[in-house]
């Protein structure tokens, strides 16, 4: 058993999934969120429901009943020096909000290593990819300046492959997992920081959850990898599925975006994989299209990006633009990807006009 870690996670929705897994393995987690959310989590715990292979229905875990702990607080109440690791689980545009921006500055000052589980790779992580100019991507971020305080050496990225949502009819402390895959984590530059990820990986893998006297191995692991390119595997999924939920005049489920025209999906997916390989990834670090297409069969609702645009969001995470611009740095271009970017740009422009 490794030492017990104190982990700070920014964002209590998706963050509660990783937080629950860490608490199940005996570690202490603090979620950073809004005051009403924090009050509810501290009173009633985080409730995570997930499918488990070979079992009917969903297994429900309340963090109040785990060996470790999950508590919550507002950004201004946090002292980053109290933590061994910071998880980043908010949507990228939220990091510029008052309180969170200041907390990022404090985290940077304290020199705590940061592990992102956002779809949008934080700029300091992108800066670690050899042979590219991260400064050319600044316009992809809601406010790139919030990331300037963080040393790239202290930033790593996980592929946020697990899919989860907050059921709209439930309280905000409930999260339901739709696709229980793993978080695949790139190493830090400093091996002592990477060791924290390896320890958490081992502890989460070993942990079991008891239901009616039966000890269950729950899905969704944190996996430590040796290549910084491993989390880039998510990019092909996002461009072939999530962003193609956004159509000119409406949104559609991920399943339909992928399977409505499977060959078009495959072509985009393979091209994004080619971009990752051009950046330095090995093909075997990435996820084959067929595996993704099979998983997409279970994704019967639109992506969070599509839902946000349909609800009038004036900023969303722009991994589509990150991929487009990184590809351009390698002399690569794809008409279907350009069309995705143009469609999302159009929605944002229309939403901003409405909001103005």
Cα gap 17→36, rounded to integer Å: 19
CB contact set of 104 (below 8 Å; sequence gap of 6+): 95, 146, 147, 149, 150
pLDDT tens per residue, range 276-327: 999 999 999 899 999 999 999 988 889 999 999 999 999 999 999 999 999 9
Query: Are the C-beta atoms of 341 and 324 separated by less than 8 Å?
Result: yes
pLDDT tens per residue, range 213-266: 999 999 999 999 999 999 999 999 999 999 999 999 999 999 999 999 999 999
335 pLDDT band, cuts 50/70/90, is very high
* pLDDT (0 to 100) of residue 78: 98
Residue 83's Cβ-count burial label (10 Å; 0-12, 13-18, 19+) is buried
* pLDDT (0 to 100) of residue 262: 97
Q: Report, as an integer, the average pLDDT of 147-174.
A: 94
* pLDDT (0 to 100) of residue 299: 87
Distance, C-alpha 77 to centroid of its chain:
24
The tokens for 198 are: 């390896």
Question: What is the chain's mean pLDDT, rounded?
Answer: 96
Residue 355's Cβ-count burial label (10 Å; 0-12, 13-18, 19+) is exposed
67 pLDDT band, cuts 50/70/90, is very high
* pLDDT (0 to 100) of residue 1: 55
Domains along the sequence of the chain with CATH = 6-224 (3.40.50.720), 232-355 (1.10.1040)
Q: Please, what is the Cα angle at 126 between 241 and 139, to 5 degrees?
A: 75
**Angle of helix 319-329 versus helix 262-279 axis, rounded to 10:** 60
* pLDDT (0 to 100) of residue 131: 95
The tokens for 199 are: 């320890």
Q: Can you give the pTM of this predicted structure?
A: 0.95
Residue 200 pLDDT > 90, yes or no? yes
Query: Are the C-beta atoms of 332 and 278 separated by less than 8 Å?
Result: yes
Cα gap 310→173, rounded to integer Å: 24
Q: Report, as an integer, the average pLDDT of 162-168.
A: 90
Residue 120 pLDDT > 90, yes or no? yes
What percentage of residues in the chain have a pLDDT greater than 70? 99
Q: Report, as an integer, the average pLDDT of 49-72.
A: 96
Residue 127 pLDDT > 80, yes or no? yes
Residue 332 pLDDT > 90, yes or no? yes
Residue 173 pLDDT > 60, yes or no? yes
Rg (C-alpha) for the chain, rounded Å, is: 19
């Amino acid at each position: 058993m490794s030492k017990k870690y104190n982990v700070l996670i920014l964002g209590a929705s998706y963050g509660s999934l990783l937080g629950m897994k860490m608490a199940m393995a005996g570690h202490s987690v603090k979620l950073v969120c809004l005051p009403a959310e924090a009050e509810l989590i501290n009173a009633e715990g985080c409730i995570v429901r997930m499918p488990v292979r070979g079992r009917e229905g969903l297994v429900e875990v309340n963090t109040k009943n785990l060996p470790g702990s999950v508590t919550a607080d507002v950004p201004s109440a946090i002292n980053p020096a109290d933590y061994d690791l910071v998880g980043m689980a908010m949507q990228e545009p939220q990091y510029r909000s008052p309180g969170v921006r200041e907390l990022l500055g404090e985290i940077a000052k304290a020199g705590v290593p940061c592990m992102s589980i956002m779809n949008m790779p934080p700029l300091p992580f992108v800066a670690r990819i050899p042979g590219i100019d991260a400064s050319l991507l600044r316009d992809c971020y809601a406010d790139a300046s919030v990331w300037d305080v963080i040393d790239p050496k202290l930033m790593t990225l996980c592929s946020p492959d697990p899919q989860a949502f907050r059921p709209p009819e439930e309280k905000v402390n409930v999260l339901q997992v739709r696709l229980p895959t793993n978080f695949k984590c790139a190493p830090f530059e400093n091996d002592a920081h990477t060791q924290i990820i390896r320890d958490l990986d081992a502890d989460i893998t070993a942990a079991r959850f008891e239901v009616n006297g039966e000890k269950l191995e729950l899905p969704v692991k944190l996996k430590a990898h040796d290549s910084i390119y491993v989390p880039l595997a998510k990019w092909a999924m996002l461009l072939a599925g999530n962003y193609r939920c956004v159509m000119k005049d409406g949104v559609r489920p991920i399943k339909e975006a992928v399977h409505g025209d499977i060959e078009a999906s495959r072509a985009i997916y393979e091209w994004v994989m080619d971009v990752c390989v051009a950046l330095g990834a090995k093909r075997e670090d990435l996820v084959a299209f067929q595996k993704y297409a099979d998983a997409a069969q279970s994704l019967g609702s639109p992506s969070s990006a599509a839902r946000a645009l349909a609800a009038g969001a004036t900023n969303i995470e722009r991994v589509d633009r990150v991929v487009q611009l990184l590809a351009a740095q390698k002399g690569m271009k794809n008409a279907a990807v350009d069309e995705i970017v143009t469609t999302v740009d159009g929605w944002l422009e229309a939403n901003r006009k409405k909001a103005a």
